[in-house]
């Protein structure tokens, strides 16, 4: 039913809870979970200002996602991590629609609370624009 699942994650508690639900869905038909981390412009600028090289940036992002990756692997499921750059809502929508996912799972809140208040919820943007079923986890 849902073989190709996209999990939008940023390492927040909400994304870890979302991963638990993605696992439950994937276990129905031994689906594969792709983890997508969207890096906005502010985060990219901060990485440059802190003098981090590409290796350190990649390592730091993997560390943020480690709890998510760990629970997926502990469940015996395959996962692959992808990073996209841009405003999280549209970047996640484009990635999901261009790669023909069967199902998208996202937490209701992420690490960027200011963006949520000013621009609206990333999860709301995803639910409105992605061409497949979306599960928003509180």
Task: Give the residue extent of every domain in the chain.
Answer: 4-137
pLDDT value at position 53? Answer: 72
Q: What is the pLDDT of residue 55?
A: 78
- Alpha-helical regions (H) of 29-87: 41-49, 54-74
CATH architecture of residue range(s) 4-137: 3-Layer(aba) Sandwich (3.40)
Instruction: Pick the closest to residue 2 from 125, 135, 127 (CA basis).
Output: 135
What was the pLDDT predicted at 40?
A: 84
In 1-138, beta strands by DSSP E: 4-8, 32-39, 79-85, 103-107, 134-137
In angstroms, what is the C-alpha Rg of the chain? 14
Compute the CA torsion angle 12, 70, 106, 14 (nearest 10 deg). -30
- pLDDT digit string (tens) for 31-87? 999 999 998 876 655 555 565 677 777 788 889 999 999 999 999 999 999 999 999
Give yes or no for residue 28 having a pLDDT over 90. yes
Task: For residues 83 and 76, give the distance between their C-alpha atoms in angstroms, rounded to a whole number.
Answer: 23
77-136: pLDDT as tens digits:
999 999 999 999 999 999 999 999 999 999 986 555 554 444 458 899 999 999 999 999
pLDDT at 115: 47
pLDDT in the model for residue 119: 44
Give the residue among 96, 62, 67, 107 at the shortest CA–CA distance from 81: 62
* Spatial separation of the C-alpha atoms in residues 53 and 68, rounded to whole Å: 24
pLDDT computed for residue 44 by the predictor: 57
What is the token pair recorded at 97?
A: 């629609």
């Amino acid at each position: 039913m849902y073989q190709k699942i996209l999990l939008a994650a940023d390492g927040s508690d909400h994304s870890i809870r979302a991963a638990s639900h993605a696992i439950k869905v994937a276990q129905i038909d031994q689906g594969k979970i792709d983890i997508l981390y969207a890096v906005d412009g502010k985060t990219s600028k901060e990485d440059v200002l802190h003098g981090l090289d590409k290796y350190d940036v990649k390592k730091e992002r993997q560390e943020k996602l480690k709890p998510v990756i760990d629970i997926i692997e502990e469940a015996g499921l395959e996962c692959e991590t992808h990073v996209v750059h841009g405003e999280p809502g549209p970047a996640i929508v484009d990635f999901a629609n261009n790669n023909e996912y069967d199902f998208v799972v996202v937490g209701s809140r992420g690490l960027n609370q200011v963006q949520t208040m000013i621009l609206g919820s990333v999860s709301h943007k995803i639910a409105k624009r992605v061409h497949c079923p979306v599960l928003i986890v509180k």
